[in-house]
């Protein structure tokens, strides 16, 4: 059985290695860190400390270092925000253990310093200066984003910061002295962030490059231009499933569910999934797992024929449970796996994991290459805002080192919003490039159900090649039957092909699977379309109103709600929706544009629908 997922969700087969002892694993981890430290180029930082936003610490190679205790993280923050990177031991004790006496706080400080050194490994001696009276960071070897912005205000925009970016977001150690200090620091930063956010973003220049940024490149004019430093892919580790009250058969069934979750996550996100279920795990996987922030385990509880499945997600840096998700099903449903309830659990866990691994800030565009995921881009696309759409386009730009099939599929998928939502323009050269790109990349990587659904939708909706689109979309739902996005676009294909009954069934499945997705409103819109075309106007109104509550700007929802109200005789409601559509899309008055918006396959031969439209727009 494969025991390691690669980035992008591909399985890698590997020979079964010999078991590794804990001592060997620890030695290998320390050796790997030591080699990293030795290879650090002279003059580059050995640590990169991020305090703007969530706390994050990376080494010189941009790999995340997990500092396991909050007090150790707080100590780094206190040192980093001090005028010269140093604080006395007395001052640190007062801020971190204000409720303890001198003896106890001194002991706690020594223990925290020990834990910090342990987590930093060989880098501790290079980054920290410790004496009898004070503890300090070597500011020549530790890069700090807060200090970088203070030294170069232009870095504020280049780092993707905004006025709402909080210092040490969500940080808390429950000490009143520390909280008072943090409140003052946050207030000072908030004032400064507002000033910097209002200032125009300067062009990138040599001085703006962060220390040790290997992506600073030489421009055509000889100037050095700073580019964002590459971030490693996010990662999770899968632990062995826990079984209560079942037989040996339950373990592979639970693993099947866990593998479905991992597959769905890899289809949408840049994430390495490390499989630690086998006792004899490859040494490289163990070393990688030492830097993994999230560990996942599936717990199965069986009582008779009833089964409770719970996904547990633990965060290593906090040494605590991040969240859990549970579902109850029957044993026969678990064996079959194709039930909507069980697959809905898989889809819900995928969405939650994607949001946990790749959190979205309040700014329109996610920052950093670690957030260059299909999940982030898809959510930007479905904001239906021209600025967010442009942010998604930039997020999906091809990188120099690799072509991501999902990114290319999503770039093609953007074309359907130019046709259906009147967002942007689609030239003939754009159409030709999209068609060429789609066919080439599908031949290269045909195993991602989201990418297949994107290209299938574009082939059917934009290019009217419904037979080819049907093949791709059927393959997508077979590859991953728990992928709501694939079922939704399969439903749309059936509607464009004139099979409203099949489209309704697929749309109902997409709504059930994607109930907790951030883009659930788009699935409800497809159901609105299918129910309208089947003549079930009550169901259409129910789904359409729910969709508009979540996304009031989706014109596709308004178009079909307008038809449903017209068919029911709700003249005032129908005309109000029509007027809103005309304000947003005046060209919809023209029959050719209406045909493009609704889909030629839907309008042709549907005399009732055409009659409703003629009454509304004539």
Lowest mean pLDDT among 222-231, 276-285, 493-502: 222-231
Look at 195 and 230; give whichever has higher pLDDT: 195
Same domain? 349 vs 235: yes
For residues 244-253, give the mean pLDDT. 82
pLDDT band at 437 (very low <50, low <70, confident <90, very high): low
User: Is the distance from CB of 241 to CB of 258 less than 8 angstroms?
Assistant: yes
Domain carrying residue 410: 371-481
- 502 located within any domain: no
Q: Are strands 217-218 and 224-225 parallel, antiparallel or unpaired?
A: antiparallel
- 334 located within any domain: yes
pLDDT tens figures, 123-135: 988 899 998 889 9
- Distance from C-alpha of 333 to C-alpha of 342, rounded to nearest angstrom: 7
pLDDT at 368 over 60: no
- Distance from C-alpha of 492 to C-alpha of 473, rounded to nearest angstrom: 10
Look at 125 and 199; give whichever has higher pLDDT: 125
Look at 47 and 230; give whichever has higher pLDDT: 47
Taking CA atoms, 394 is separated from 281, 374, 398, 400, in Å, by: 39, 12, 9, 14
pLDDT at 31 over 70: no
SS3 447: coil
- Distance from C-alpha of 114 to C-alpha of 583, rounded to nearest angstrom: 65
For residues 465-481, give the mean pLDDT. 90
pLDDT at 516 over 80: yes
- 216 located within any domain: no
CATH value at residue 331 = 3.40.50.10070
Same domain? 118 vs 143: yes
Taking CA atoms, 532 is separated from 284, 528, 544, 585, in Å, by: 55, 6, 10, 22
pLDDT tens figures, 272-295: 888 888 766 565 666 666 778 899
User: Is the distance from CB of 65 to CB of 120 less than 8 angstroms?
Assistant: yes
pLDDT at 220 over 70: no
Same domain? 303 vs 399: no
Question: Which candidate, 369, 442, 383, places its Cα nearest to that of 414?
Answer: 383
Same domain? 344 vs 412: no
For the chain, give the mean pLDDT: 79
**Sign of the alpha-carbon torsion through 129, 130, 133, 135:** positive
User: Is the distance from CB of 507 to CB of 527 less than 8 angstroms?
Assistant: yes
pLDDT of residue 227: 39
pLDDT of residue 440: 57
Same domain? 51 vs 156: yes
Same domain? 616 vs 527: yes
Look at 417 and 167; give whichever has higher pLDDT: 167
Same domain? 246 vs 353: yes
Residue 154 in tokens:
């232009």
- Distance from C-alpha of 454 to C-alpha of 476, rounded to nearest angstrom: 10
CATH value at residue 537 = 1.25.40
pLDDT at 606 over 80: no
Q: How many domains does the chain have?
A: 4
Count the Cβ atoms, other than its own, within 10 Å of residue 264: 26
pLDDT of residue 464: 79
SS3 96: helix
Percent of the chain having pLDDT more than 70? 77
- Distance from C-alpha of 36 to C-alpha of 132, rounded to nearest angstrom: 29
- 608 located within any domain: yes
Residue 220 in tokens:
């055509």
Q: Which residue has the tokens 């650090």?
A: 40
Look at 400 and 342; give whichever has higher pLDDT: 342
- Distance from C-alpha of 224 to C-alpha of 226, rounded to nearest angstrom: 7
Look at 349 and 170; give whichever has higher pLDDT: 349
pLDDT band at 318 (very low <50, low <70, confident <90, very high): confident
Same domain? 62 vs 189: yes
* Domain endpoint, select from 317, 334, 357: 357
pLDDT of residue 504: 96
pLDDT tens figures, 178-195: 988 998 898 889 888 888
For residues 482-502, give the mean pLDDT. 93
- 423 located within any domain: yes
User: Is the distance from CB of 486 to CB of 449 less than 8 angstroms?
Assistant: yes
* Domain endpoint, select from 200, 218, 243: 200
User: Is the distance from CB of 269 to CB of 287 less than 8 angstroms?
Assistant: no
* Domain endpoint, select from 464, 481, 498: 481
pLDDT of residue 455: 87
- 40 located within any domain: no
- 314 located within any domain: yes
Same domain? 428 vs 539: no
CATH value at residue 179 = 1.10.10.10
pLDDT band at 374 (very low <50, low <70, confident <90, very high): confident
Which of 10-14, 367-371, 381-385, 532-536 reaches the highest mean pLDDT?
A: 532-536
pLDDT at 23 over 70: no
Q: Which residue has the tokens 């290209």?
A: 455
User: Is the distance from CB of 129 to CB of 136 less than 8 angstroms?
Assistant: yes
Phi, psi angles (nearest 5°) of residue 188: -65, -40
pLDDT of residue 5: 35
- 553 located within any domain: yes
pLDDT of residue 453: 92
For residues 262-271, give the mean pLDDT. 87
pLDDT tens figures, 42-92: 457 899 999 998 899 998 888 889 898 889 999 999 999 998 899 999 999
pLDDT at 4 over 50: no
pLDDT at 30 over 50: no
pLDDT band at 205 (very low <50, low <70, confident <90, very high): very low
Buried b (16+ CB within 10 A) or exposed e, 34-44: eebbeebeeeb
Percent of the chain having pLDDT more than 90? 32
Same domain? 324 vs 402: no
- Distance from C-alpha of 582 to C-alpha of 41, rounded to nearest angstrom: 61
Same domain? 302 vs 382: no
Same domain? 114 vs 14: no
pLDDT of residue 438: 58
pLDDT at 581 over 80: yes
SS3 152: coil
Which positions ≥6 away from 577 have C-beta within 8 Å? Answer: 558, 561, 562, 565
């Amino acid at each position: 059985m494969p025991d390691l997922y690669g980035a992008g969700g591909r399985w890698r087969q590997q020979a079964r290695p010999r078991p590794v002892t804990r001592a060997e694993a620890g030695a290998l981890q320390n050796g790997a860190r030591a080699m990293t430290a030795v290879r650090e180029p002279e003059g580059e930082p050995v640590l990169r400390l991020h305090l703007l936003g969530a706390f994050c610490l990376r080494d010189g190679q941009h790999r995340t270092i997990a500092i396991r205790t909050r007090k150790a993280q707080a100590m780094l923050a206190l040192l980093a925000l001090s005028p010269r990177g140093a604080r006395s031991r007395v001052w640190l004790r007062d801020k971190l253990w204000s409720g303890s006496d001198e003896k106890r706080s001194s002991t706690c400080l020594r223990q925290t310093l020990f834990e910090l050194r342990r987590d930093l490994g060989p880098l501790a001696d290079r980054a920290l200066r410790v004496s009898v009276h004070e503890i300090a960071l070597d500011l020549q070897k530790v890069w700090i984003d807060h200090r970088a912005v203070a030294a170069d205000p232009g870095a504020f925009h280049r780092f993707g910061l905004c006025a709402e970016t909080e210092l040490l977001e969500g940080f808390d150690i429950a000490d009143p002295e520390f909280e008072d200090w943090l409140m003052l620091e946050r207030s000072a930063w908030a004032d400064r962030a507002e000033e910097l956010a209002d200032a125009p973003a300067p062009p990138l220049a040599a001085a703006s490059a962060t220390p040790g940024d290997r992506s600073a490149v030489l421009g055509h004019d000889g100037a050095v231009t700073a580019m964002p430093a590459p971030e490693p892919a996010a990662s999770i580790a899968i632990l062995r499933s826990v079984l209560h009250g079942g037989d040996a058969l339950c373990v592979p069934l639970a693993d099947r569910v866990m593998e479905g979750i991992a597959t769905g996550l890899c289809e949408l996100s840049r994430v390495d999934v490390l499989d630690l279920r086998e006792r004899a795990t490859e040494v490289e996987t163990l070393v990688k797992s030492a830097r993994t922030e999230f560990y996942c385990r599936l717990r199965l509880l069986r009582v008779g024929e009833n089964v409770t499945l719970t996904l547990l997600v633990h965060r290593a840096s906090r040494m605590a449970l991040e969240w859990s998700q549970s579902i109850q099903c029957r044993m026969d449903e678990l064996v079959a796996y194709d039930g909507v309830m069980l697959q809905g659990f898989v889809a819900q866990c995928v969405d939650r994991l994607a949001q946990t691994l790749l959190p979205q800030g309040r700014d329109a565009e996610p920052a950093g290459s670690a957030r260059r995921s299909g999940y982030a881009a898809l959510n930007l696309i479905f904001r239906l805002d021209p600025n967010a759409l442009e942010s998604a386009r930039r997020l999906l730009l091809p990188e120099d080192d690799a072509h991501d099939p999902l990114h290319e599929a999503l770039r093609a998928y953007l074309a359907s919003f130019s046709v259906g939502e009147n967002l942007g323009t689609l030239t003939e050269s754009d159409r030709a490039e999209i068609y060429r790109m789609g066919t080439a990349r599908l031949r290269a990587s045909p195993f991602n159900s989201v990418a297949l659904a994107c290209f299938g939708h574009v082939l059917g909706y934009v290019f009217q090649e419904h037979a080819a689109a049907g093949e791709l979309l059927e393959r997508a739902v077979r590859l991953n039957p728990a992928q709501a996005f694939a079922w939704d676009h399969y439903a749309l294909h059936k509607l464009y092909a004139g099979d409203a009954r099949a489209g309704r069934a697929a749309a109902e499945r997409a709504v059930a699977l994607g109930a907790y997705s951030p883009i659930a409103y788009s699935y409800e819109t497809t159901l609105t379309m299918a129910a309208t075309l089947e003549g079930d106007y009550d169901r259409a109104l129910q789904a359409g109103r729910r969709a508009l509550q979540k996304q009031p700007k989706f014109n596709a929802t308004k178009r079909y709600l307008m038809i449903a109200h017209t068919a029911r005789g709700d003249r005032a409601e129908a005309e109000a929706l029509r007027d809103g559509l005309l304000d947003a899309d005046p060209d919809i008055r023209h029959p050719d544009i209406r045909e493009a918006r609704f889909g030629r396959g839907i309008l042709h031969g549907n005399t009732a629908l055409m009659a409703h439209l003629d009454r509304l727009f004539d």
